[in-house]
């Protein structure tokens, strides 16, 4: 019985360990990205070794192709020799082999030798001879190996790719899952999160300046923020692959699950940033472009550093919401009310606390003591709840003070109608915290709100009250 030789990247896992290790190294220190270019000058094998010295993927968190693994385990049970033949660095290969416990031999790259394509073919032919082994692979680099294998087992091939493999050797098995790539990209961009960017329209509405030109400016600002935010979501997911895979819901995201490849994501995501920047620079005021730039820098810094610092992370999230309001005001050249700024900071701080509270609650249910990729521990949950509820109620108090201020009279003919708005806000905030405490909250309260009928009813009541105050 021929030995069964197995590749790693794209074969038994639906990702690339070199790219994952590089992203992990960049998360530790972004300066490592520059060093990688220097390491690459001495060869790909040297690059792999240097990156592996800094960070290696956690085997338990990798997106495994279960159908391929099940087949390998079945062959192992029949007494077949299973050989792990991968171009990944030896340290990573040994870690994965130990985790799986199904390989009889491990062949991998060293600091001087990159076990890929021709080098892999030579190593396997030296061990088993021509046509003395079967090989499971997925990429063009495997053609030279398949040419000397008795049988090819091909993972996730296109029709043209499979046809080419069949032209050089016998194909004994194909592992393939159909994916709608366009749908995966839309899901990864998290278009539903663009709901948050409607905040850029709020300053125009509150200023009661609803002419078509300014509305057009607000719409452009909405899309500029949406595209920029989606780029940051992708960046954040790339940096959080390990922690997302250990999360019960986030592990289903396209990147975390491996359904969407890292290279394809790296190709399309910069186009979003370019689109957002183009709208901001050429179609909107310079002050708006500056605000969008601050948003991008702050969110990027959040992705690399701030998200791991307790309390600073939620204050940053709250500030990012408020920054949307400020940018919206700059887009249409209206004065931003200090009342709105104060309300926004405390209101969105409460929602950011809900998000962390929910994550910690999930962590407790899974008997973990520390939140992956964050600085929180299970013992923090009561403090988070207290801080969050207090922030929400403070935002309601700020609203009542605003209703009683001198700034209301010029904008509303019957400001008394605004008093019940504060009651609606108190009800909504209290209900959100009840839901979160009972474990019925999604990870993001904004997303939860978009699907919550009661929130729509409360919003409709608030809208009627505001209209009543205006006319």
Q: pLDDT tens-digit profile of 342-387? A: 999 999 999 999 999 998 888 888 787 676 667 788 889 999 999 9
Q: What is the pLDDT of residue 372?
A: 65
Q: What is the pLDDT of residue 460?
A: 95
Sheet strands side by side (includes 170-175): 105-109, 82-89, 3-6, 133-137, 151-155, 170-175
Q: Within 10 A of 19 (CB to CB), how many other CB atoms are there?
A: 18
- Pseudo-torsion of CA 136, 141, 147, 148, nearest 10°? -70
Multiple choice CATH, 3-175, 3.40.50.1000, 3.30.43.10, 2.60.40.2310, 2.40.160.60? 3.40.50.1000
Q: What is the pLDDT of residue 373?
A: 63
Q: What is the pTM for the complete model shown?
A: 0.82
Q: What is the pLDDT of residue 376?
A: 87
Site of tokens 């590089």 = 22
Give the DSSP H or E segment for 449.
Answer: helix 445-450
Report the Cα 369 to chain-centroid distance in Å.
Answer: 23
- Domain ranges in the chain are 3-175, 179-336, 340-471
In order of 52, 204, 304, the CA distances from 29 in angstroms are: 14, 41, 8
Give me the residues of the chain with pLDDT under 70, please: 369, 371-373, 443
Q: Cβ(28)–Cβ(55) under 8 Å? A: yes
Query: Per this entry, what is the length of the chain?
Result: 471
Domains 3-175 and 179-336 share a fold: no
3-state secondary structure of 45: helix
> How does DSSP assign 94-163, residue by residue?
HHHHHHH---SEEEEE-SS---STHHHHHHHHHHH-TTSEEEEE-SGGGHHHHTTSSEEEEES--HHHHH
Multiple choice CATH, 179-336, 3.40.50.2300, 3.30.420.40, 1.10.357.140, 2.60.40.60? 1.10.357.140
Give the DSSP H or E segment for 93.
Answer: helix 90-100
Q: What is the pLDDT of residue 178?
A: 78
Q: Cβ(312)–Cβ(306) under 8 Å? A: yes
What's the first-to-final CA gap in the chain, in angstroms? 85
**Would you state the structure tokens that stand for residue 236, as one six-digit string?**
């954040």
Q: What is the pLDDT of residue 410?
A: 82
Q: How far apart are CA 431 and CA 453, in angstroms?
A: 13
Q: What is the pLDDT of residue 450?
A: 85
Q: What is the pLDDT of residue 366?
A: 78
Q: How far apart are CA 72 and CA 136, in angstroms?
A: 10
Of 128, 8, 148, 124, give the one whose Cα is nearest residue 68.
8
In order of 8, 122, 127, 165, 168, the CA distances from 144 in angstroms are: 16, 9, 16, 10, 9
Q: What is the pLDDT of residue 264?
A: 84
Determine the angle formed by the axes of helices 17-28 and 32-40, rounding to 10 degrees.
140
Is the C-alpha dihedral spanning 75, 77, 80, 85 positive or negative?
A: positive
Q: What is the pLDDT of residue 279?
A: 96
């Amino acid at each position: 019985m021929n030995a069964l030789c197995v590749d790693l990247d794209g074969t038994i896992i639906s990702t690339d360990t070199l790219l994952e290790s590089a992203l992990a190294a960049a998360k530790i220190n972004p300066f490592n990205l520059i060093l990688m270019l220097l390491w690459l000058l001495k060869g790909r094998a040297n690059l792999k070794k240097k990156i592996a010295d800094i960070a290696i993927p956690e085997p338990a968190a990798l997106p495994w192709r279960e159908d391929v693994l099940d087949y390998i385990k079945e062959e192992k049970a029949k007494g077949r020799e299973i050989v792990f033949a991968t171009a990944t660095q030896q340290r990573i290969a040994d870690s994965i082999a130990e985790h799986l416990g199904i390989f009889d031999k491990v062949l991998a790259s060293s600091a001087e030798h990159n076990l890929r394509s021709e080098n892999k073919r030579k190593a396997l032919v030296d061990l088993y001879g021509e046509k003395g082994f079967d090989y499971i692979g997925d990429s063009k680099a495997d053609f030279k190996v398949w040419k000397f294998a008795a049988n090819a087992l091909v993972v996730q091939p296109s029709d043209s790719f499979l046809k080419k493999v069949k032209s050089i050797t016998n194909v004994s098995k194909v592992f393939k899952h159909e994916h709608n790539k366009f749908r995966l990209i839309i899901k990864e961009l998290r278009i539903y999160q663009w709901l948050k960017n409607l905040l850029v329209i709020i300053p125009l509405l509150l200023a009661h300046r609803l002419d078509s030109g300014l509305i057009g400016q607000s719409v452009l600002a909405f899309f500029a923020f949406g595209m920029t935010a989606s780029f940051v979501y992708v960046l954040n997911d790339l940096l959080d692959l390990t922690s997302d895979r250990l999360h019960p819901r986030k592990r289903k995201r396209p990147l975390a699950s491996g359904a969407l490849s890292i290279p394809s994501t790296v190709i399309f995501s910069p186009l979003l940033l370019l689109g957002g920047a183009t709208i901001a620079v050429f179609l909107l005021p310079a002050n708006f472009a500056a605000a969008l730039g601050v948003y991008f820098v702050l969110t990027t810094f959040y992705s690399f550093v701030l998200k791991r610092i307790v309390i600073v992370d939620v204050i940053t999230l709250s500030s990012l919401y408020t920054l949307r309001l400020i940018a919206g005001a700059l887009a249409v050249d209206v004065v931003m009310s200090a009342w709105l700024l104060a309300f926004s900071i405390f209101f969105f701080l409460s929602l950011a606390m809900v998000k962390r509270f929910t994550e910690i609650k999930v962590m407790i249910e899974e008997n973990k003591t520390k939140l992956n990729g964050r600085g929180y521990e299970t013992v923090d949950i009561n403090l988070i709840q207290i801080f969050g509820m207090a922030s929400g109620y403070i935002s309601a108090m700020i609203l009542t003070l605003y209703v009683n201020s001198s700034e209301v009279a010029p904008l509303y003919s019957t400001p008394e109608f605004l008093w019940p708005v504060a009651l609606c806000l108190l009800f909504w905030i209290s209900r959100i915290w009840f839901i979160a405490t009972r474990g019925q909250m999604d990870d993001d309260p904004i997303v939860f709100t978009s699907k919550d009928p009661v929130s729509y009813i409360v919003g409709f009541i608030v809208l009627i009250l505001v209209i009543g105050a205006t006319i």
